[in-house]
């Protein structure tokens, strides 16, 4: 959309304009907006700008009217009052954004602690299986307690880059956390939620016995390679049975998380009622996370598009009500989704509150602010909202690198209070 440069003295009510300065250098909530009052014009004219950007196509061009008879002093007083009000609101938003960033930092720290625990657990599973199981159970129970007892949960995006075997651990933690959240939303018992978390954490452990050249292969697997990969569910059960401490119902999750309702899954080709209900929960989440993180990263889908594909393409294979509950839980705009806001700014959804899924927290692209200091804003009903979803591939290079939407997407959960 073409924009023209005009003098601040040329601005009129109904004009859609953009301020050519850093967001922190003016009192308005956004740099782009339609002029609604004379007071807004007076504030802009007081900023000592050489020009503003004017968007004719988005403006309402009103017919010429006689010069306003509003007393200049009165107008200046009203403008000063409005400016103070806007600055208070903006400062409140800035403080909220700082708190959002602090919460993200706390969540990232908790996530990394869990990743350290998973690395230790997987390292001990062969040599000290009982200790590994005790540590795994303790970690899962702590996360499950947060999920079960919170009135509202905040699901955070954690952008981490993993390598080789590390990706298996990121995937395990993702599937475990999201599966427990989904189980809660489906009204599973606390005991089942913990079993689901434990089974999901180890659902792919059998892949440790699959040759790395098969696991890392990005092109289509040969039939023998695919058959070997499918053995990971049975290998996982064999490994976990050696611990003599892994719950039997959680073993069903490890064995059956690739079974499909129509009998097209593996290893046994089970159908609907033959599949453990807990395994069905993990199967839905596992498919979602795999769509976001396939072995060939060029085929990776954004969380929003992965959710859409899952619902459209897996009907009859995965539990329909489980998939619907996952979509409701993750929100219309899951963490990791690139969006355009109603003020035309582009951002990355960072977290979703379970009580306000239409109004997530969004990291905003601003070329004037370093990425690590980029504002994270909370969207509000009746104010700033999401206009549309953007495919990462459609982003200009600078915005893509700033938002980094193709980073390893991991999720972590916190009570709304942090």
Rounded Cα gap, residues 220 and 323, in angstroms: 27
**What is the share, in percent, of the chain residues with pLDDT greater than 70?**
93
HSE-up (13 A, CA, CB side) for residue 380: 6
- Per-residue pLDDT of 298-340, as tens digits, reads 788 888 889 989 989 999 999 999 999 998 888 888 888 999 9
**CA 207, 213, 218, 223 torsion-angle sign:** negative
Rounded Cα gap, residues 212 and 220, in angstroms: 15
* Strand 32-34 relative to strand 16-18, pairing: antiparallel
**CATH class of the domain whose range is 92-415:** mainly alpha
The domains of the chain are located at 4-61+69-91, 92-415
- Per-residue pLDDT of 238-267, as tens digits, reads 999 988 889 999 999 999 999 999 999 999
- Per-residue pLDDT of 85-130, as tens digits, reads 988 888 887 787 777 778 777 888 888 888 899 989 988 888 888 8
Global pTM exceeds 0.85: no
Q: Retrieve residue 9's tokens.
A: 């003295």
């Amino acid at each position: 959309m073409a924009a023209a440069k005009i003098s601040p003295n040329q601005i009129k009510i109904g004009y859609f304009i953009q301020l050519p300065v850093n967001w922190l250098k003016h009192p308005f909530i956004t740099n782009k907006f339609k002029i609604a009052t004379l007071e807004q014009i007076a504030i802009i004219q007081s900023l000592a700008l050489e020009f503003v950007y004017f968007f004719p196509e988005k403006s309402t061009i009103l017919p010429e009217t006689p010069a306003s008879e509003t007393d200049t002093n009165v107008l200046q007083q009203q403008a000063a009052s409005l400016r103070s009000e806007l600055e208070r609101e903006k400062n409140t938003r800035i403080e909220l954004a700082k708190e959002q960033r602090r919460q993200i930092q706390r969540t990232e720290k908790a996530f990394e602690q869990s990743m350290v625990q998973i690395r230790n657990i997987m390292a001990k599973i062969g040599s000290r299986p009982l200790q590994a199981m005790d540590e795994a159970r303790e970690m899962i129970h702590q996360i499950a307690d947060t999920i079960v007892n919170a009135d509202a949960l905040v699901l955070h995006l954690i952008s981490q880059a993993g390598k080789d075997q590390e990706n298996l651990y990121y995937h395990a933690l993702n599937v475990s956390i999201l599966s427990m959240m989904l189980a809660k939303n489906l009204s599973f018992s606390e005991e089942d939620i913990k079993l689901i978390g434990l089974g999901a954490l180890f659902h792919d452990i059998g892949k440790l016995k699959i040759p790395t050249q098969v696991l890392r292969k990005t092109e289509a697997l040969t039939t023998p390679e695919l058959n070997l990969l499918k053995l990971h569910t049975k290998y996982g059960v064999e490994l976990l049975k050696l611990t003599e401490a892994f719950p039997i119902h959680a073993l069903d999750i490890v064995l059956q998380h690739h079974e499909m309702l129509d009998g097209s899954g593996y290893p046994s080709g089970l159908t609907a009622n033959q599949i453990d209900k807990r395994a069905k929960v993990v199967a839905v989440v596992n498919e979602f996370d795999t769509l976001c993180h396939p072995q060939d990263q060029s085929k990776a889908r954004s969380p929003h598009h992965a959710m859409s594909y899952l619902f459209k393409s897996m009907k009859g294979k995965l539990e329909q009500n489980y998939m619907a509950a996952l979509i409701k839980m993750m929100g219309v705009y899951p963490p990791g989704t690139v969006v355009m806001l109603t003020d035309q700014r582009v951002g990355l959804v960072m977290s979703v509150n379970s009580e306000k899924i239409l109004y997530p927290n969004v990291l905003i692209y601003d070329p004037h602010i370093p990425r690590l200091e980029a504002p994270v804003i909370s969207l509000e009903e009746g104010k700033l909202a999401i206009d549309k979803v953007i495919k990462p591939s459609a982003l200009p290079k600078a915005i893509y690198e700033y938002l980094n939407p193709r980073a390893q997407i991991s999720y972590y959960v916190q009570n709304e209070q942090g």
